[in-house]
Amino acid sequence: MISLSDTGQSSLTGPPRPTNSARWPRAARRIRLLGGDAAAAGYRRPVDLVDEASAEVVELHDFLVAWFTGTLDDTDASFARFADALDPGFTMIVPSGDVLDRGAVVASVRAAHATADDGFRIEIRDVVHRVVDEDAVLVTYEEWQYVGGRPQSRRVSTAWLSRPSGAASGVRWGHLHETAQVV
How much is the mean pLDDT over the chain?
80
Query: How many structural domains compose the chain?
Result: 1
In a domain, 58, yes or no: yes
In a domain, 9, yes or no: no
In a domain, 28, yes or no: no
The 86-93 sheet, strands edge to edge: 99-101, 86-93, 172-181, 150-162, 136-147, 121-132
| 162/40: higher pLDDT | 162
| pLDDT tens digits, one per residue of 72-121 | 999 999 999 999 999 999 999 999 999 999 999 999 999 999 999 989 99
In a domain, 52, yes or no: yes
φ, ψ at 4 (rounded to 5°): -105, 150
Question: Which residues span the domain enclosing 91?
Answer: 42-181
Give DSSP secondary structure letters for 35-71.
Answer: T--TTTTT---HHHHHHHHHHHHHHHHHHHHHHHHT-
Res. 19: pLDDT tops 90: no
Domain at 162, CATH number: 3.10.450.50
| 89/166: higher pLDDT | 89
Span 46-61, average pLDDT: 88
